Amino acid sequence: MSNYPFPFLPDEFKGKRVLITGATKGMGAATLQRFLLGGADVATTARSAWPEAPASVLFVQTDLGSRDGIRQVVDCVQQQWGGLDILINNVGGSEAPNGGFQALSDDDWQRAFDVNLLAAVRLDRAFLPGMIERGSGAVIHISSIQHRLPLYDSTLAYAAAKAGLRTYSKGLANEVGPKGVRVNMVSPGFIETSGAHGMIVQLAKANNITEQESRQQIMNMIGGIPIGRPGNPAEVAELVAFLASDRAASIHGADYIIDGGTMPTV
Active site residue 158: yes
Is 1 in a helix, a strand, or coil? coil
Query: Residues 24, 30, 36, 38: what is their CA dihedral angle, to the nearest 10 degrees?
Result: -160
Is 58 in a helix, a strand, or coil? strand
Please calculate the CA angle 253-161-193 and round it to the nearest 5 degrees.
85
Q: How many CB atoms lie within 10 A of CB 8?
A: 18
DSSP classification of residue 90: -
Check 4, 158, 168, 256 and give the catalytic one.
158
Q: Output phi, psi for 5, to 5 deg.
A: -85, -5
Instruction: Please name the amino acid found at residue 225.
Output: I
Is 56 in a helix, a strand, or coil? coil
Mind telling me the catalytic residues? Answer: 158
